[in-house]
Structure 1
Amino acid sequence: MNVTIVNKITKGTKRKSLYHFTRARNLPSISHVDALYSCHDVNPNLSDARREVRSEISFNGHLFVANAHLKIADGVMDVNTSHLTFHQYVDKHVFFWPTQRDCQKMLEIYSKREPNEAFAVLQFDAQSLMTDFYDQIKLTKYDSGSSPRYPTRTSYKKSLQMFLRLEQFQQIDRNDVPTKPSEIREVLVEGKVTDVTRYLQTLYCDHTSLLNDNWREHAQPLQGFYR
């Protein structure tokens, strides 16, 4: 493990935390197991095909809601990477936003898209989480699950190559991977993140009834996330 890499990424004042965006309905499941699981680790069958709509299943006696896969234009996909291969790879990871601003944009998009759904944001200490899960972490320069508005004008193609292992940061110089902290758009952890209470700083959620006692002390109204 190269601690210098983690220190470089988390040095900026706006990059001290990692943000996980989820549906409030997922909180009982997350707090029950004290972990964030990738869709694949919850149930590999969730990735048998592109999820055109969200999927709701039972996980450890609680509800687990997997988001739908957004349709990605053919023009932005690498010719050697199929849509299914790409979605299956993505499903093997837990996603974090490296800045509050990036996560706010995601929250705004989903709040407009699904006005009747309640959402939550979990804020974690970036340095300790990235240090403990160093070998499982990958970085992206682009929002991997989205489809650019003008796919033919993009300077990159979506492929598994765009997911850079943390240990390779600033060791590989390509236009489809981040080469400096400000270019990191997503932080991914392969498999699952366990003992999440250890890293939890703040939980932004308006539905505290969904939280266990240990997490209520970290809770703030979702509106506070915009401050």
Structure 2
Amino acid sequence: MKDIEHNIALITKSAGRKSAFHFTRARNLQAIAHLDSLWSSHHLLPEATGERRTSTEEVTYEGTSITVNSHLRIPEAMMEANCTVEEFRTFIDKHVFFWPTRRDCLKMLTTYMKREPSERFAVIELEASELLREHETSVRFSKYDSGSSPRFPNTCMYRKSPDMFVSLADFGRKTNHAVPVKPSEIKEILIEDQVRSVTQLIKSVYVQHPEDVPARWLNEFQPLDALLALAEGKPPAD
């Protein structure tokens, strides 16, 4: 427990790493608020284990509608010799993903906004230290964007497998080149299966249209433009 608390304090010490950011579609917000949870895609689509989703998929779960994103292509050249793409996809699909900084989240947001200009997107900002503490046994960290592929996979310096992730307890102890060993190297925060008590952890909900925000989260509403302005180095509009 002492090591866990030390690592949480270390990871969230920087002013820019006191939040964790979850990117989703605005249409999913009502379901997330109703369930007060975020679920992994494997939990929502258990029959699709290892298969690549080439398009979004609508899921009905406990009376709510949730849109699950498609998978990006990962070439075999990116894989460790002992791990197939299907095995790796099965592993990452069992987790909920967060970005540890606004900058990392904004790259994801702006990429999807260009790719799907007619879609409404949202970013949920959670309190990082409490998120890690609440889910301490199921947290994993990655040094790389695990679900995508670099432009030149054959010359990439790492290969994908479950070994590229490190637990909260082992952070700073596991020191192979593929895992983060200091907070500034953490690219992704993964939490296995379910993130609980989302409402309790929320700091802000960024969306373009206030009507997309669940009633219980209206006090946390922030315009998406305020977040996008940070990507451009501009102050938010008054």
TM-score (structure 2 length as normaliser): 0.92
Mapped pair 1:218 → 2:226: no
Seq. identity, %: 42
2:165 corresponds to which residue? 163
Identify which of 205, 208, 221 aligns with 2:210. 208
2:41 corresponds to which residue? 39
Mapped pair 1:17 → 2:13: no
Does the aligned pair in 1 maintain the 2:56–2:67 contact within 8 Å?
Answer: yes
Identify which of 95, 98, 109 aligns with 2:97. 95
Q: 1:136 to 1:130 in 2, by over 3 A?
A: same
Does the aligned pair in 2 maintain the 1:29–1:60 contact within 8 Å?
Answer: no
Query: Deviations along 1:37-88, whole A, 9 cap, x unmatched?
Result: 1111223124351111111121222221111111012211112111111111
Query: Deviations along 1:170-211, whole A, 9 cap, x unmatched?
Result: 101111000100000000100101110111000001233233
Does the aligned pair in 2 maintain the 1:21–1:120 contact within 8 Å?
Answer: yes
Does the aligned pair in 1 maintain the 2:126–2:201 contact within 8 Å?
Answer: yes
2:31 corresponds to which residue? 29
1:131 corresponds to which residue? 133
Structure 1 unpaired stretches of 5+: none
> What is the CA–CA distance in structure 2 between the aligned matches of 1:198 and 1:113, rounded to whole Å?
32
Q: How is 1:54-203 mapped onto 2 (pairs within 5 angstroms)? A: 54-203=56-205
Corresponding residue SS for 2:137? helix
Does the aligned pair in 2 maintain the 1:86–1:160 contact within 8 Å?
Answer: yes
**Aligned Cα root-mean-square deviation (Å):** 1.1
Corresponding residue SS for 1:4? helix
Query: Deviations along 1:132-187, whole A, 9 cap, x unmatched?
Result: 11101000000000110010111110001011111110101111000100000000
TM-score (structure 1 length as normaliser): 0.97
* Alignment-mate amino acid for residue 151 of structure 2: R
* Alignment-mate amino acid for residue 189 of structure 2: V
Q: 1:15 to 1:222 in 2, by over 3 A?
A: same
> What is the CA–CA distance in structure 2 between the aligned matches of 1:172 and 1:90, rounded to whole Å?
19
Figure out how many residues of one structure are paired with residues of the other and give that number.
227
Corresponding residue SS for 2:169? helix
Does the aligned pair in 2 maintain the 1:23–1:118 contact within 8 Å?
Answer: yes
> What is the CA–CA distance in structure 2 between the aligned matches of 1:197 and 1:173, rounded to whole Å?
35
Does the aligned pair in 2 maintain the 1:16–1:127 contact within 8 Å?
Answer: yes
